[in-house]
Amino acid sequence: MKLETRNWIENKLPSMNPPIQHSSTPVLQSLLRCPVCATPLRLEKRTHRCEKGHSFDLSKEGYVNLLLSHQRKSKNPGDDKMMIQARRRFFDSGAFDPLVKLILEKGLRPEALDFRNSTPPKPQASGLQPIAFPSILDCGCGEGHLLGTLSTSLRSDSPLRSPSFGGQAVGVSRHSLLTTAEDVAPPLNSDPTGRVSLSRKPSTLRGERAEKFFGVDVSKEAIRCAAKRYKDVTWIVANGMRELPFADNSLDVILSVLAPRNIEEFARILKPEGALILGVPGPNHLIELRSELTSTASDFEEKADESVAKCAPLFKETGRELLSYEILLGKPQIADLIQMTPIFWNSSPKAKEKVQQLDELKITVSFALLTLQPA
């Protein structure tokens, strides 16, 4: 080809290698860090990679396994498949819906907490001003009902349903012991049936789920179960009692509900103005069932104070709310509740068989919801 012809083609035809156009959109900072070397993890297609070459593939269900071999005491740690299935059925029955509703109201409303990187919205004639939703970790998330239900409710603006577990809830009572954020925050919308929804359009929250909602559990079976149902959460297999795979000061909210707590790690990964929300058994929680199964059933009167004391001096309590109600369980719910709790391991086969023969049992559900912040 003659030189002048080649020059004409190069000038007239579009380049096969056009210059790279740099986007003005900032890249979301990775909150996850490599469990091997502690450098940031970046998600590339279906693989989390760090700068030192360690990689962790997403499973077909969509979760990532960051549990290293030396961080587990057995081949399959955590709850087994039978316990996970029992937990899923019991939570699906709606028996713990009042607790989910309370956590949504007290802890996970962006306008209720003063986060460092966001400005609390002010009431306007057209409603609340939208803000970026905070980053939330549910540590010890089990099969994902709590975090999955909350993320779905926030995404779709769908109300949490009232309990529908084949029985009835009686005497639901709440008692706030300390001043909390709800005292100064605008209330949530609710319809006459008591169902709760956010005072914002769902479009202000869409597209922010996977990067902001994290569920961690040591049980692969639990995380697999969670990932199959709830697609708007980053589900991670990891040992919550060892070093957590999150960057320092990276999270706005940490949830720990009826789960073991790693206070030192919580203090490391929580932002200075973040919130630690603990759900612990309240007075007489499941006392009727525990009395049937064991001869040493305590009333859990001191559980909340003990939990706060164990968090000191790294955290200070800023709010406490007690939730108590009675529910009437049918035979399937009784069997699932026994299977999913520590009661299963602390009672004799004879006692469990006797209780499972009951057609129904009225029990007390009692929780203390504690809000703490870095000291």
If we measure between CA atoms, which residue out of 275, 324, 277, 317 comes closest to residue 299?
Answer: 324
pLDDT at position 11 is: 46
Express each pLDDT in 158-186 by its tens digit: 555 444 444 445 556 666 655 333 332 33
Is residue 209 within 8 A of residue 156, CB to CB? The reply is no
- Do you know the residue count of the chain? 375
- What are the tens digits of pLDDT across the range 215-254? 999 999 999 999 999 998 999 999 999 999 999 999 999 9
Phi-psi region of 154 (alpha: psi -120 to 50; beta: other; left: phi over 0): alpha
| pLDDT band for position 309 (cuts 50, 70, 90) | very high
Count of helix runs (H) and strand runs (E) in the chain: 10, 16
pLDDT value for 78 = 76
Give me the residue spans of the domains in the chain: 30-59, 63-116+131-288+299-328+365-374
Other C-beta atoms closer than 10 Å to the C-beta of 44 total 9
Determine the straight-line distance between the first and last CA of the chain, rounded to whole angstroms: 76
Q: Report the alpha-carbon distance of residue 191 to residue 194 in Å, rounded.
A: 6
Instruction: Check pLDDT > 90 for residue 138.
Output: yes
Do residues 344 and 338 touch, judged by C-beta distance below 8 A?
A: yes
Structure tokens at 11: 């000038």
Decide: 287 and 299 in contact? Cβ < 8 Å. Answer: yes
| Average pLDDT, rounded, for the chain | 76
| 323 has pLDDT over 80 | yes
Classify 322 as helix, strand or coil: strand
> Is pLDDT at 98 greater than 80 in this prediction?
yes
Burial 126-135 (b: 16+ CB within 10 A, else e): eebeebebbb
Closest Cα to residue 37, out of 14, 66, 1, 9?
66
Q: Is the pLDDT of residue 266 over 90?
A: yes
The domain 63-116+131-288+299-328+365-374 is classified under which CATH number: 3.40.50.720, 3.30.70.1880, 3.40.50.150, 3.30.70.2740? 3.40.50.150
Radius of gyration of the chain (CA): 24
What does the alpha-carbon distance between residue 219 and residue 224 come to, in Å, rounded to a whole number? 9
pTM: 0.77
Q: Which of 182-186, 293-297, 350-354 has the lowest mean pLDDT?
A: 182-186
pLDDT at 372: 96
Phi then psi dihedrals of residue 120, to 5 deg: -60, 135
